[in-house]
């Protein structure tokens, strides 16, 4: 019996009952019966499940696309997940998510994160917050982030004001490009941040040089965007025709996505990853990365050495 499984085989096999995936009748996933892994937000100790949801592709109108995203959002908390990250800059993603969460009635089960405007002058006064409330159809934002430093000097004092008023629970800043790392490091050193959001993956480890160590030192939570690749291309596309190594089972990984997400999650500074997910099969596959065993330092090195051969 073969002990290697590709992501294509996993997804072709379909989804088993509960949170498990049917592995084509070949391999059972031990992680499916394990508890959801959580990590604390350093500023409060609140625990978050380590695999969330990125929503850059939620600005859709076609009925079949809305239906697919409804299915994801409906099952998301049922799988033990919680963190949904969106942004004003993602077109109508906030609106789609707001409509669907209201329709599904599961807003209270979600840790909802969004961002201020990514370019141009921000709305005056409380406008940025009120617009987020309106679009997401909520009266509280769990995490409000300044998107790629746009108008940070104007907006960050407002974020602290809204947090003090308990309209926002946590505040943060984001980037997804290494040319903004100097700004990120400066802000982390000077501002009272609960969260940062940064790009990090097996194929893009620049944040591990200074940003992630500083976040750990300062007690700042870290959300990882594009954990399966972004502008560099999908890491999954680079291994799509390669078998998953048998030793991936040491970390209860039965797909490439799970192995690479577990690599990110196992970093001591990382709080949660937010892979973009629009299909239920991908959601269930990704969520299994947040269960079972994680690689230790030696395991992380092993994954890095494997990637070097890709």
Q: What is the pTM of this model?
A: 0.90
Q: Does 200 reside within a domain?
A: yes
Contact 7/255 with Cβ under 8 angstroms? yes
Q: Does 4 reside within a domain?
A: no
The Cα-based distances of 102 to 97, 109, 144 in angstroms read: 8, 12, 20
Q: Does 62 reside within a domain?
A: yes
Q: Does 132 reside within a domain?
A: yes
Q: Does 112 reside within a domain?
A: yes
Q: Does 16 reside within a domain?
A: no
What are 47's strand-pairing partners?
Answer: 40
Name which of 242, 138, 252, 144 is nearest 194 in CA terms.
Answer: 144
Q: Please state whether 252 falls in left (phi above 0), alpha (psi between -120 and 50) or beta.
A: left
Q: Does 271 reside within a domain?
A: yes
The boundaries of the domain holding residue 129 are 41-307
Q: Please state whether 219 falls in left (phi above 0), alpha (psi between -120 and 50) or beta.
A: left
| Total domains in the fold of the chain | 1
Residue 68 sits in a domain whose CATH number is: 3.20.20.100
Contact 147/89 with Cβ under 8 angstroms? yes
What are 291's strand-pairing partners?
Answer: 36
Q: Does 35 reside within a domain?
A: no
Name which of 177, 180, 114, 185 is nearest 146 in CA terms.
Answer: 114
Per-residue pLDDT of the chain (310 residues; tens, 9 = 90+): 233 334 444 444 443 334 444 333 334 477 888 999 999 999 999 999 999 999 999 999 999 999 999 999 999 999 999 999 999 999 999 999 999 999 999 999 999 999 999 988 888 899 999 999 999 999 999 999 999 999 999 999 999 999 999 999 999 999 999 999 999 999 999 999 999 999 999 999 999 999 999 999 999 999 999 999 976 789 999 999 999 999 999 999 999 999 999 999 999 999 999 999 999 999 999 999 999 999 999 999 999 999 999 8
What CA–CA distance (Å, rounded) separates 167 from 116?
14
What CA–CA distance (Å, rounded) separates 232 from 247?
26
């Amino acid at each position: 019996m073969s002990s290697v499984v590709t992501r294509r085989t996993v997804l072709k096999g379909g989804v088993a009952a509960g949170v498990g995936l049917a592995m084509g009748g070949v391999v059972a996933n031990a992680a499916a019966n394990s508890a959801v892994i959580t990590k604390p937000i350093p500023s409060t100790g609140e625990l978050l499940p380590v695999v969330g949801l990125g929503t850059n592709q939620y600005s859709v109108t076609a009925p079949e696309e809305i239906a697919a995203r409804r299915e994801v959002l409906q099952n998301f908390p049922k799988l033990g997940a919680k963190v949904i990250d969106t942004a004003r800059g993602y077109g109508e993603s906030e609106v789609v998510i707001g409509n669907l969460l209201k329709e599904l009635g599961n807003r209270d089960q979600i840790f909802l994160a969004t961002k201020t405007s990514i370019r141009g002058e921000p709305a005056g006064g409380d406008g940025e917050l009120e617009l987020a409330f309106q679009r997401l159809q909520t009266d509280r934002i769990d995490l409000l982030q300044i998107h790629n430093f746009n108008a940070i000097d104007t907006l960050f004092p407002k974020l602290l004001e809204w947090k003090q008023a308990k309209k926002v629970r946590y505040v943060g800043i984001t980037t997804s490009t290494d040319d903004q790392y100097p700004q990120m490091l400066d802000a982390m050193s000077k501002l009272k941040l609960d969260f940062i959001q940064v790009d990090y993956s097996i194929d893009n480890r620049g944040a591990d040089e200074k940003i992630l160590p500083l976040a750990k030192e300062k007690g700042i939570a870290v959300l990882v965007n594009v954990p399966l690749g972004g502008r560099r291309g999908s890491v999954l596309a680079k291994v799509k025709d390669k078998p998953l190594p048998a030793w991936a089972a040491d970390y209860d990984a039965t797909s490439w996505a799970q192995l690479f997400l577990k690599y990110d999650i196992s970093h001591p500074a990382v709080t949660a990853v937010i892979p973009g997910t629009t299909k239920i099969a991908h959601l269930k596959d990704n969520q299994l990365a947040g269960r079972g065993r994680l690689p230790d330092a030696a395991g992380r090195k092993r994954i890095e050495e494997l990637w070097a051969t890709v």
